[in-house]
Amino acid sequence: MLAAPLLAGNNLSQLTPEITAILTNREVIAIDQDPLGHQAERIFAEGPIEIWSRPLACGAMALEVINYSEGDTFLHDVSLQLKEAGAAPGWKACDVWAGKDLGALQDDFQFMLKRQSALLLRLTK
């Protein structure tokens, strides 16, 4: 999300399949290396939840929602107002990590996010 070089501090000869999948996710790399080159801005921070927004080439947008919770709360209810993120109802969303098309979003996008996890969305008009 920060439009920075992708660095890995792992011992490449000992990567697990899960870590390899994370480091080689083509959609995530495409967002990281987007030719527009703008880094994300934090647009929301309340408690353990942060939302970051980044414009992408061709009018698309990347949104990352991060849950920094550490306590007993396993899931956190998150509500995202698209207008506040610079998007609009009807924009199509793709969950980049899951590789899942979420279809057209409504203005109030609600979901649950596990503690210590993140949701990365690619939004297109």
Domain for residue 57, yes or no?
yes
pLDDT tens, residue by residue, 3-26: 888 788 888 889 999 989 988 899
CATH of the domain at 92: 2.60.40.1180
Domain for residue 120, yes or no?
yes
Total domains present in the chain: 1
Domain for residue 2, yes or no?
no
Ramachandran area for residue 86 (φ above 0: left; ψ -120 to 50: alpha; else beta): left
Q: What is the mean pLDDT of the chain?
A: 87
Domain for residue 3, yes or no?
no
Whole-number pLDDT of residue 74: 67
Domain for residue 34, yes or no?
yes
Measure the N-to-C terminal CA separation of the chain; round to a whole number of Å. 20
Residue linked to tokens 């509500």: 79
46 in Cβ contact with 38 (< 8 Å): no
pLDDT tens, residue by residue, 22-62: 888 999 999 999 999 999 999 988 888 899 999 999 899 99
The span from the CA of 47 to the CA of 58, in Å, is 33
Domain for residue 45, yes or no?
yes
Q: What average pLDDT does range 98-111 have in this prediction?
A: 86
Domain for residue 4, yes or no?
no
User: Residue 80 is part of which domain span?
Assistant: 12-124
